[in-house]
Amino acid sequence: MRNSLAVATAVAILCASTTNALPGPIALTSRQTQPASPLADGLSYTVPPPPATGGSSAVWQAAFETARGLVEQMTLEEKVKMATGQPGPCIGNTLAVPRLGIPALCMSDGPAGVRPALGVTQFPAGVTTAATWDRELMYNRSLAMGQEFRDQGVHIAFGPVTGGPLGRAVLNGRTFEGFAADPYAAGEASYYAVKGIQDAGVIATAKHFIGYEQASRRRRSVSHMQRRARAPAGQLPYDSIIDDKTTHEMYLWPFADAVRAGVGAVMCSYNLVNGTHSCANSETINGLLKTELDYQGMVLSDYGSVWGTQAFAQGGLDISTPGDGLGGLFGKFFGNELLALVGNGTIDESRIQDQAIRVLTPYFALGQKDDPLPPPTQKVSTNYLIPSVNEYRNVQKGSTVDLIRRIGEEGAVLLKNTGGLPLQKPRRMLIVGEDAGYHRAAGDFGNGGPINTFALGFGSGYAIPNNLIDPLAAISMRALEDQTTIESVLNNTNIALISSLASQTDVAVVFSEALTGQGTERRDLNLARNGTEIILATAAQCSNTVVVLHLPGAANLEAFVDHPNITAILAPMLPGEQTGTSLVRLLYGDVNPSGKLPFTIGKSLSDYPPNTVVRDNVVRPTTEFTEKSLIDYRWFDAKNIEPRFEYGFGLSYSTFAYNKIWINETAAKDTLSLQATAERFSGQKAGESLYDVLFTVYAEIENSGKVFGCEVAQLYVEFPSVEGQPPRNMRGFDKVKHLEAGDKRTATFPIRRKDVSVWDTVLQMWRSPAEPQVVFHVGSSSRKLPLRLPYNLY
Ligand SMILES: *[C@@H]1O[C@H](CO)[C@@H](O)[C@H](O)[C@H]1NC(C)=O
Ligand SMILES: *[C@@H]1O[C@H](CO)[C@@H](O)[C@H](O)[C@H]1NC(C)=O
Ligand SMILES: *[C@@H]1O[C@H](CO)[C@@H](O)[C@H](O)[C@H]1NC(C)=O
Ligand SMILES: *[C@@H]1O[C@H](CO)[C@@H](O)[C@H](O)[C@H]1NC(C)=O
Ligand SMILES: *[C@@H]1O[C@H](CO)[C@@H](O)[C@H](O)[C@H]1NC(C)=O
Ligand SMILES: *[C@@H]1O[C@H](CO)[C@@H](O)[C@H](O)[C@H]1NC(C)=O
Ligand SMILES: *[C@@H]1O[C@H](CO)[C@@H](O)[C@H](O)[C@H]1NC(C)=O
């Protein structure tokens, strides 16, 4: 959330320092604080806040009662301060009320580990985690991450990224933080991500709500970006215009799953939705989130997304963060202004009461009162934008290192293999590319961009690695077993040396990446740092060239993908600090690749939906979601565009056959919702839920190759043509594990009512398709779907 360019000037860590200053202080003197928005002035809300219902599960009901009891003992001023971020040690802090035994709650980034902190794990990014298609690994990752937040004294973790962005814009600089460019897949991942963090006793934050599909032109203050882009004075964040059906069927969907997992915080986004700031948007917050999803926790703001007080409090924002923290850099809203608005009767005190209760309820619901956290290690000075780490406390566990190595293995996608992999005891191996190596250097704080190997995108989604094992180091260690000669050229401009060594080696492994982070869009889909040039230079001389790609999302591979000397392409994407160890096990065949793409790799930028990034230098940049639900593979399918590698694609060292498909009509009640939503559907009877399982589709998968492996089987639903839906919608995935050659195993796809429903804009609820027959397609990717089963829903 902080400005990524701001830290490009960061100073290096001082090794003997007692206060691990991370990174160097940046004075705020030249910066403005967030101004009030012309749109927020006296703006009235259209959807009133819902009554505080007090939790839809037993745990939350009890926590709500406790929070209410305490809030009733607070003064008005205390309640207002509870709704306003306070100065304190962390990036975000709530008010402490010692006389009531309420501590300050510490909030911190981010979606791939605690930031800023030392002694924590740099987890694989969301995109790599999604590519595992393994719900258990998704959960285990978040549980381990939650434990590190807890051990660093953080009550509220700013993650996971829950489909904001979902992946509408292929150039979006921060899609890697989230999971998959599909609401069902992002929803499943969000559910397990929230559950894992919260099972560790830390409040998760589903973000960014909603329609946040562009990383640039998102706020006015502290904005070098905007100066760079020569934006007009007073430019507002971009406005996402999204229709009701698309909102429900695409962008709200994963947030519903975060709510079902009991998420305690939701972060509203920088952008406007339909002309209203997202954090003052009563339609989205009071309407969609707090009424339709019956969300019981707090809505907190992104840093710089609050532009006023009255409209924001009434629009549904519960706590303005960082509020008075960080020296009030992001605007002096809420606080005294809110107090005055309640004092003169403009805002009812019941709203402030509800805000304070919503801020405190998750603290009790997650047991943080009974099992207090250690003091935070962060220490933010009000004079500095970028916080520093006050105390070195190493909380990484060996089991977490093993876990992230496994996620790196399971989330790597094998895109091409004509025999290059697995490696066969090469005598001589050449490693090419700056991306293969790593050294800690000034600037490696995830703000100014990574140095050398690209293991995680920069910005607030970055985490400082505890012990990053780079690919070159890991390969060098493994090569000892075969006495392989290892040579390397990590200088991407030394084409002459690359060429001469490539002509003499048995195998060359070339590393390349596409760099990205928050606050900015990718300029194009090209590889960074002359990646395509070093790949082509190597392949011109070496007939056994293996390419390894560290990617935040799609990239243009057309210049080399069909090159006959490129014998394999493997994409681990952003695997976190065990990048080298996980890679080595894949390269040598200790592990069989089983990751599949959670996005589509097209042949050119123009293959993707147009105009998804607004770059207009106008006061009110607007982006209309005219493609509606046709993002990523839905667009390619609907427009008959041949992708290079489709959504769901990924090879193995083995092969898999899809033998047969069948259905079992046994229904089952929803057992997964920890908090029920209030989403309605046509014909609903008492006790029925949108998430009840109507029936289950099964498919028999066979390992038809020669080696042990795992296969991610996928299910897509085709709706009757009258519904105007995309050709196919993903509605199931099952990672079928541990298949020996010749083994047959059943993939299971429970189909919930929502999975075969469409949003009806007239009824304002979900309903079955108007014609009964849907078709289920099962296969190995969104384009390879050998099994087909038509089915009458009614
Ligand atoms: C997740 O963690 C549990 C508990 O440590 C373990 O039993 C399980 O095997 C893990 N799952 C995966 C897929 O690694
Ligand atoms: C935004 O406006 C569109 C009409 O342009 C409407 O269909 C949709 O429901 C609105 N979204 C919200 C959240 O009110
Ligand atoms: C109430 O207080 C706010 C904040 O000071 C002020 O802007 C507003 O004009 C006041 N309204 C009335 C009706 O006094
Ligand atoms: C990289 O190679 C180029 C071309 O040979 C050379 O000019 C440059 O100095 C090298 N850079 C480093 C850091 O060695
Ligand atoms: C690519 O290499 C050339 C020299 O061969 C160099 O001038 C240029 O700056 C490089 N581009 C990048 C993005 O590194
Ligand atoms: C492939 O590599 C060989 C060297 O092993 C080289 O002679 C040949 O030209 C290369 N092929 C292409 C298409 O570059
Ligand atoms: C369907 O599933 C139920 C519950 O798992 C099981 O009891 C039943 O035997 C299955 N029916 C068929 C036809 O396989």
Which ligand is nearest to the Cα of residue 663, counting in written order?
7
Q: Which residue has the higher pLDDT, 441 or 685?
A: 685
Give a yes or no: residue 370 inside a domain: no
283 lines ligand 2 (CB under 6 A): yes
Q: Whose CA is nearest to atom 2 of ligand 3?
A: 341
Q: Which residues form ligand 7's pocket by a CB distance below 6 Å?
A: 664, 666
For residue 386, the model assigns a pLDDT of: 53
Q: Is 332 exposed, middle or buried (0-12, 13-18, 19+ CB in 10 A)?
A: middle
- Specify whether 112 is located in the same domain as 223: yes
Is residue 527's pLDDT more than 60?
A: yes
For residue 118, the model assigns a pLDDT of: 87
- Specify whether 667 is located in the same domain as 602: no
Q: Which two tokens stand for residue 740?
A: 């020996």
Q: Mean pLDDT, to the nearest integer, of 467-471?
A: 95
Is residue 597's pLDDT more than 80?
A: yes
- CA atoms of 242 and 240, how far apart (whole Å): 6
Question: β-strands 203-209, 265-268: how paired?
Answer: parallel
Q: Do 170 and 605 contact (CB within 8 A), yes or no?
A: yes
Q: Whose CA is nearest to atom 1 of ligand 6?
A: 543
Least trusted range by pLDDT, from 172-181, 458-467, 781-790: 458-467
Q: Mean pLDDT, to the nearest integer, of 145-150?
A: 98
- Specify whether 665 is located in the same domain as 538: no
Is residue 25's pLDDT more than 50?
A: no
* Chain centroid offset of residue 305 CA: 19
36: DSSP letter:
P
Q: For residue 111, give its domain range.
A: 44-365
- Specify whether 359 is located in the same domain as 405: no
Give a yes or no: residue 53 inside a domain: yes
Q: Mean pLDDT, to the nearest integer, of 170-187?
A: 96
- Specify whether 566 is located in the same domain as 667: no
Give a yes or no: residue 501 inside a domain: yes
Neighbours of 146 (CB within 10 A): 26
Q: Is 625 exposed, middle or buried (0-12, 13-18, 19+ CB in 10 A)?
A: buried
Is residue 661's pLDDT more than 90?
A: yes
244 lines ligand 2 (CB under 6 A): yes
H or E, element range at 664: strand 656-664
Give a yes or no: residue 432 inside a domain: yes
Q: Whose CA is nearest to atom 10 of ligand 6?
A: 540
Give a yes or no: residue 265 inside a domain: yes
End-of-domain residue from the set 546, 577, 607: 607
Neighbours of 628 (CB within 10 A): 18
Instruction: Give the mutation target among 660, 662, 664, 694 for probing the ligand 7 site: most ligand atoms within 8 A of CB.
Output: 664
For residue 46, the model assigns a pLDDT of: 75
Which ligand is nearest to the Cα of residue 144, counting in written order?
1
End-of-domain residue from the set 579, 607, 635: 607
Give a yes or no: residue 252 inside a domain: yes
Q: Which residues form ligand 1's pocket by a CB distance below 6 Å?
A: 134, 136-137, 140, 406
Instruction: Give the mutation target among 45, 239, 243 for probing the ligand 2 site: most ligand atoms within 8 A of CB.
Output: 243
Give a yes or no: residue 3 inside a domain: no
Please give the backbone phi and psi of residue 206, each rounded to the nearest 5 degrees, phi first. -75, 130
State how far the alpha carbon of 241 is from the alpha carbons of 232, 237, 247, 725, in Å. Answer: 21, 13, 10, 20
Q: Mean pLDDT, to the nearest integer, of 88-109?
A: 96
Which ligand is nearest to the Cα of residue 498, counting in written order?
4
**Which CATH number is 484's domain given?**
3.40.50.1700
Catalytic residues: 302
Is residue 17's pLDDT more than 60?
A: no
Q: How far is the CA of 244 from the centre of ligand 2 (A)?
A: 5
Instruction: Give the mutation target among 41, 338, 346 for probing the ligand 3 site: most ligand atoms within 8 A of CB.
Output: 346
Model confidence at 57, pLDDT cuts 50, 70, 90, reads confident
* Chain centroid offset of residue 150 CA: 20
pTM: 0.94
Q: Which two tokens stand for residue 107?
A: 């909030």
pLDDT > 70 fraction of the chain, expressed in percent and rounded: 89
Q: Tell whether omega for the bond before 237 is within 30 degrees of 0, i.e. cis.
A: no
224 lines ligand 5 (CB under 6 A): no
For 659, the 3-state DSSP assignment is strand
Model confidence at 11, pLDDT cuts 50, 70, 90, reads very low
Mean pLDDT of the chain: 90
Ligand 1: nearest atom to the Cα of 403 = 14
- Specify whether 316 is located in the same domain as 430: no
Q: Do 412 and 597 contact (CB within 8 A), yes or no?
A: no
- CA atoms of 794 and 774, how far apart (whole Å): 10
Q: Mean pLDDT, to the nearest integer, of 485-507?
A: 97
Q: Whose CA is nearest to atom 1 of ligand 7?
A: 664
Model confidence at 45, pLDDT cuts 50, 70, 90, reads low
Interval 662-677: pLDDT, tens: 999 999 999 999 999 9
Model confidence at 554, pLDDT cuts 50, 70, 90, reads very high
For 150, the 3-state DSSP assignment is helix
For tokens 């069909």, name the residue: 562
- Specify whether 238 is located in the same domain as 124: yes
Q: Is 794 exposed, middle or buried (0-12, 13-18, 19+ CB in 10 A)?
A: exposed
Beta strands (DSSP E) in 298-456 are: 298-301, 378-379, 388-389, 413-417, 428-432
Ligand 4: nearest atom to the Cα of 496 = 5
- CA atoms of 581 and 177, how far apart (whole Å): 22
For residue 27, the model assigns a pLDDT of: 31
Q: Which residue has the higher pLDDT, 386 or 37?
A: 37
- Specify whether 358 is located in the same domain as 403: no
End-of-domain residue from the set 572, 607, 642: 607
- Specify whether 570 is located in the same domain as 711: no
Interval 739-789: pLDDT, tens: 999 999 999 999 999 999 999 999 999 999 999 999 999 999 999 999 999
Q: How far is the CA of 149 from the centre of ligand 1 (A)?
A: 20
Interval 262-300: pLDDT, tens: 999 999 999 999 999 999 999 999 999 999 999 999 999
Name the residue among 83, 87, 90 with its Cα closest to residue 300: 83
Q: How far is the CA of 494 from the centre of ligand 4 (A)?
A: 6
565 lines ligand 6 (CB under 6 A): yes
Q: Do 239 and 296 contact (CB within 8 A), yes or no?
A: no
DSSP 166-180: -SS-TTBTTGGGS--
Neighbours of 641 (CB within 10 A): 15
Is residue 489's pLDDT more than 60?
A: yes
For residue 9, the model assigns a pLDDT of: 25
**Which CATH number is 189's domain given?**
3.20.20.300
Cα-trace Rg, the chain: 25
Show contacts of 567-570: CB within 8 Å, 24+ apart.
Answer: 567/417, 567/418, 567/419, 567/420, 567/421, 567/543, 568/414, 568/416, 568/417, 568/418, 568/419, 568/420, 568/421, 569/414, 569/415, 569/416, 569/417, 570/412, 570/413, 570/414, 570/415, 570/421, 570/546
Is residue 30's pLDDT more than 80?
A: no
Number of structural domains found in the chain: 3
For residue 308, the model assigns a pLDDT of: 93
For 239, the 3-state DSSP assignment is strand
For residue 756, the model assigns a pLDDT of: 98
- Specify whether 415 is located in the same domain as 512: yes
- Specify whether 427 is located in the same domain as 561: yes
